Structure 1
């Protein structure tokens, strides 16, 4: 079988790798000659490079990779096509659907599985992992994936994996930017909403647009939403059935009221699936934070809170939990100016020190300009390496607490691991 992968963003790269790993031949292309190819499983040996002006091709025994152009004949020769979710709704995507060549229409076994979707702005990954542990402790064989930025394999990997092996439940993390795409690809039996927050507004433009996307996604579905969810009436009107959830009252090892909400959502879905309450309780009691998500480590006299908080609502929920002497913020990509709203929350909180570090990019000047425009008068530090970050953490470790968050999950995981080791050795 041969598949085409159009677009090499996060989901496209995951689709390419997954198809290769599942034994497919692949044609892949991206029109951007400067596309980041890191993360692609491209072998260094047995591969030919052909340059054509600004564009170029990698050719190997099981794939062709065109950068800067797309060869329509290669696409026509493929049995299935994987497009970037961001292309959904366009004429090219519509043509692929009409021809029945979208991968989810060629391989359809995944649609026979009982399927749970978890969507929302914040807390999706933690909720998915909580629910996965509950279901597996109940003896279910669970296939997990979805949102390419959630630390999972992507949507297409779910389709490929479900086609080859037997599972009881398909558990999908659905990014709020890919709702319509995921709605077409999967047959959801239950959908849980963590929350609605201020993120991806470069895509949604307005909260009303985001709400309308969720209304479409929820249409005729069994949904689980917070008892106090904004736009609750709109969502209930669209759904076939709605179940409210509340903050969990269990003894959790993860920190924060927001994680009590995540646990409450996971528990409500598990109860709907008739999972024993004793299994739910034990699973939540033993659940530990997912790598890169918020966790707390003691160091000397301080508590260090560290985890991805890449939008203003996520950061505000953490800032409400403690008094932070210093706040470390990973910077976003230059074009993601909407993510600079997190600095507005930091300045509103007014810590003694703000430390900027490279999260998704070395975007320091834009971040410093934002801090100046907000009239922040405290100390500002720039930490360009992990060692510099750790040195500042050590300097502030006799204060009550500090927070390390912002953008850049991979960077934050590296910092988190170093802090964990320091905590173990010093405490």
Structure 2
């Protein structure tokens, strides 16, 4: 019997363990931290051997395959040792793909991938397809393949998940954007991060499709450096010639695939902004490739509600707007947020810096931000970046304190924007916890 070890007992690790046991592997799961009760119960119910609070090397290195959770870096000593001993180290995404013949749609990008994933799922569900959503969001891909398989999967894929693939091949791949993010994980080398994102298309062939953001120099250069075999569908806010292209023209989204055109008014979108028009174009293109009716696509776009914690309008209190953009964990995402806000803004920012260059925000901050509230353990980089352009910069250590301060600083018709540009792990469990705390603090005002 083949032995498989799993490092990390979160959503993806436990999902991989369940799939492995169902496929006849001898499975051992190990987590250096403490497992959540819900995951312990899944492991116990499936009679899977596990440990917490340590890694028993002899048990882990006895496996032929090691499924590594995305949060564990490749340079972790145990991972390096496993590879040196000839153990195949893969991600849960790779492992799950071995046991399904479903149509796979993979979405990656520094920003926009969650929105696009949800948009595509919304359209396909409305069209009556047997479809599930997974990857970086929702229930793990592996668990779904194990217990509730679908004919179509829409998968949000992070660079960390793509680092662990070998044969994984989406029929349709989407690269929404590649801007500096997670550089702390890639030795502060943007090229290494780009190469990681491009892995989404590395196994595609001539029958597959790659939709990509043609407005970003980094993506165009990446395609030159990492050529792909799939059919290319560029996406831009400017007109694209050729038989395939997604672009904006006269307030219309044009979806052109093999010279077959679907157009749609940008004003019909329920979510606003140029970046969301691009998200919609990518989603609509997937729907057209899957032969979904134009009417279904239109109806779906008109009813799509957006994603929680991404430019989420929370409430208007005393003529002050509160916007939750907790999902903005990098500079580019915060750029979109500041760009989309029209009023004078109190900006709540900070957390775990992943190699941010705040100079990219300088023009927008100068133009729109009245005061900055730092919410993080170490705020020096933010303060140094903006103390020459913003007089009012404050430091806080709790969401409640930040929201109360923001509400006092904000005046009629101004906006309080939580758009941290950083990871959340210094003060919060994750970006969802940060966003929920923001909304709860507002409701206490």
Q: TM-score, normalised by structure 2?
A: 0.73
Instruction: Report Cα offsets for 1:7-66 as digits up to 9, x if no partner.
Output: x3xxx5223443677795863335xxxx5536464669xx9xxxxxxxxxxxx9754315
Distance (Å, rounded) in 1 between the aligned partners of 2:155 and 2:91? 22
Match of 1:232 in 2: 220
- Once the two structures are TM-superposed, the CA of residue 401 in structure 1 deviates from its matched residue by 2.0
Match of 1:392 in 2: 405
Does the C-alpha gap of structure 1 residues 107 and 124 become closer, same or farther in structure 2, counting only changes over 3 Å?
closer
User: Where does 1:20-31 land on structure 2 (aligned, <5 Å)?
Assistant: 27-30=28-31
Q: Is structure 2 residue 295 aligned with structure 1 residue 278?
A: yes
> Do 1:226 and 1:246's aligned partners in 2 also have CA atoms closer than 8 Å?
no
Q: Secondary structure at the match of 1:356?
A: strand
Match of 2:383 in 1: 371
Q: TM-score, normalised by structure 1?
A: 0.76
> Do 1:302 and 1:399's aligned partners in 2 also have CA atoms closer than 8 Å?
yes
> Do 1:325 and 1:399's aligned partners in 2 also have CA atoms closer than 8 Å?
no
Match of 1:37 in 2: 34
Does the C-alpha gap of structure 1 residues 22 and 420 become closer, same or farther in structure 2, counting only changes over 3 Å?
farther
Q: Secondary structure at the match of 1:109?
A: coil
Does the C-alpha gap of structure 1 residues 269 and 378 become closer, same or farther in structure 2, counting only changes over 3 Å?
same
User: Where does 1:286-297 land on structure 2 (aligned, <5 Å)?
Assistant: 286-296=303-313, 297=315
> Do 2:96 and 2:141's aligned partners in 1 also have CA atoms closer than 8 Å?
no
Match of 2:415 in 1: 401
Does the C-alpha gap of structure 1 residues 224 and 90 become closer, same or farther in structure 2, counting only changes over 3 Å?
farther
Match of 1:246 in 2: 247
- Once the two structures are TM-superposed, the CA of residue 80 in structure 1 deviates from its matched residue by 6.0
> Do 1:80 and 1:101's aligned partners in 2 also have CA atoms closer than 8 Å?
no
Q: Secondary structure at the match of 1:208?
A: helix
Instruction: Report Cα offsets for 1:65-114 as digits up to 9, x if no partner.
Output: 153442323653x696422343399562472339x99895598322x111
Distance (Å, rounded) in 2 between the aligned partners of 1:389 and 1:326? 10
Q: Is structure 2 residue 328 aligned with structure 1 residue 345?
A: no
Does the C-alpha gap of structure 1 residues 421 and 13 become closer, same or farther in structure 2, counting only changes over 3 Å?
same
Q: Which moved more, 1:66-75 or 1:277-286?
A: 66-75
> Do 1:311 and 1:342's aligned partners in 2 also have CA atoms closer than 8 Å?
no
- Once the two structures are TM-superposed, the CA of residue 138 in structure 1 deviates from its matched residue by 0.6
Q: Which moved more, 1:256-265 or 1:134-143?
A: 256-265
Number of aligned residue pairs: give it: 382
Distance (Å, rounded) in 2 between the aligned partners of 1:107 and 1:313? 31
> Do 1:189 and 1:222's aligned partners in 2 also have CA atoms closer than 8 Å?
yes
> Do 1:80 and 1:102's aligned partners in 2 also have CA atoms closer than 8 Å?
no
Match of 1:73 in 2: 59
> Do 1:138 and 1:275's aligned partners in 2 also have CA atoms closer than 8 Å?
yes
> Do 1:96 and 1:102's aligned partners in 2 also have CA atoms closer than 8 Å?
no
> Do 1:107 and 1:160's aligned partners in 2 also have CA atoms closer than 8 Å?
no
- Once the two structures are TM-superposed, the CA of residue 420 in structure 1 deviates from its matched residue by 7.8
> Do 2:134 and 2:154's aligned partners in 1 also have CA atoms closer than 8 Å?
yes
Distance (Å, rounded) in 1 between the aligned partners of 2:128 and 2:180? 37
Q: Is structure 2 residue 144 aligned with structure 1 residue 161?
A: yes
Match of 1:141 in 2: 130
Does the C-alpha gap of structure 1 residues 291 and 101 become closer, same or farther in structure 2, counting only changes over 3 Å?
closer
Does the C-alpha gap of structure 1 residues 41 and 239 become closer, same or farther in structure 2, counting only changes over 3 Å?
same
Distance (Å, rounded) in 2 between the aligned partners of 1:19 and 1:26? 10
Q: Secondary structure at the match of 1:201?
A: coil
Q: Secondary structure at the match of 1:391?
A: helix
Instruction: Report Cα offsets for 1:269-290 as digits up to 9, x if no partner.
Output: 1111111111111111111121
Distance (Å, rounded) in 1 between the aligned partners of 2:198 and 2:185? 17
Q: Secondary structure at the match of 1:178?
A: helix
> Do 1:81 and 1:96's aligned partners in 2 also have CA atoms closer than 8 Å?
yes
Does the C-alpha gap of structure 1 residues 270 and 397 become closer, same or farther in structure 2, counting only changes over 3 Å?
farther
> Do 2:93 and 2:161's aligned partners in 1 also have CA atoms closer than 8 Å?
no
Q: Is structure 2 residue 5 aligned with structure 1 residue 4?
A: yes
Match of 1:325 in 2: 345
User: Where does 1:117-132 land on structure 2 (aligned, <5 Å)?
Assistant: 117-132=106-121
RMSD across aligned C-alpha pairs, in angstroms?
3.7
